Amino acid sequence: MFLVSSGGTAFDFDLGFLRDLVQLLDRQLDQLEQEAAALPDPDGFGVLESADYLVGLGLVACQGYLAATYGFLHIDKQKALKRGPMHRSGYTIAELVNHGANFWKHRDEWSVDPNKAAQERTLAALATLGCGAQDYPLTNLLAALVLPTHDRLQALLSHLEAWRDALAGAA
C-alpha cells in the first residue's frame, strides 16, 4: 500500500519493507562474494549456489511487492506487468522480475508440473537474457537487470519505483 502526498511524494510502506529485506540479502551477498574471493573453488564449495539462492529469494520478495502494488490499485496482473521500465530484451523489468521469481519458486517441481505453458513462458523470458540454461541463472538475471550498476538487489528498487509510478499513473 502506498500513499501519494499533494506534493507528489509517495509513501510506499511495502517498498520500505522490501528495501529493508534486500539490504539484508545484499549484505549476505557481499559476505558470499568475500568468501568466494578467498576460496580456490567457490563453485565447488557451494558459495555461488548460495548466492543464486539468495538472489532468487530477493526476486520472490520483489514479486510480492509487485503483487501488493497492482492488487492495491486493482489492476490486472498481466496489464500491470507490462507497465514501467523496459529492458533491452523487449520485456519490462517487472515481467523479468516475475519470471525470475517464478523460476526460483517452481523449477524444482517442473518435472511433475503439468503447467508447461507457464514453464515455457518463464524459460523463454530468461533465455532472452541468456540466463535459462547456464549455471546460476538468477544471479545472471540480476546482473542483466541492473547493469551497469553493481549486481545487488538494492539496484532493482529504482526500477520498481518507476514501475509503481507508471502503474499509479495508469490507474
**What pLDDT is stored for residue 15 in this prediction?**
96
Exposure of 153 in the CB half-sphere (CA atoms within 13 A):
31
Nearest to 151 by CA among 137, 141, 161, 163: 141
Measure the CA–CA gap between 136 and 114, rounded to whole angstroms: 25
The tens digit of pLDDT for each residue in 86-108 reads: 999 999 999 999 999 999 999 98
The tens digit of pLDDT for each residue in 4-55 reads: 555 666 688 999 999 999 999 999 999 999 999 999 999 999 999 999 999 9
Residue with cell 517498498: 15
**What cell was used for 153?**
538487489
Residue with cell 543464486: 52
In this structure, are residues 155 and 146 in contact, taking their beta carbons and an 8 Å threshold?
yes
The pTM of the full predicted model, rounded to 2 decimals, is: 0.93
Q: What is the dihedral of CA 166, 89, 133, 41, to 10 degrees?
A: -80
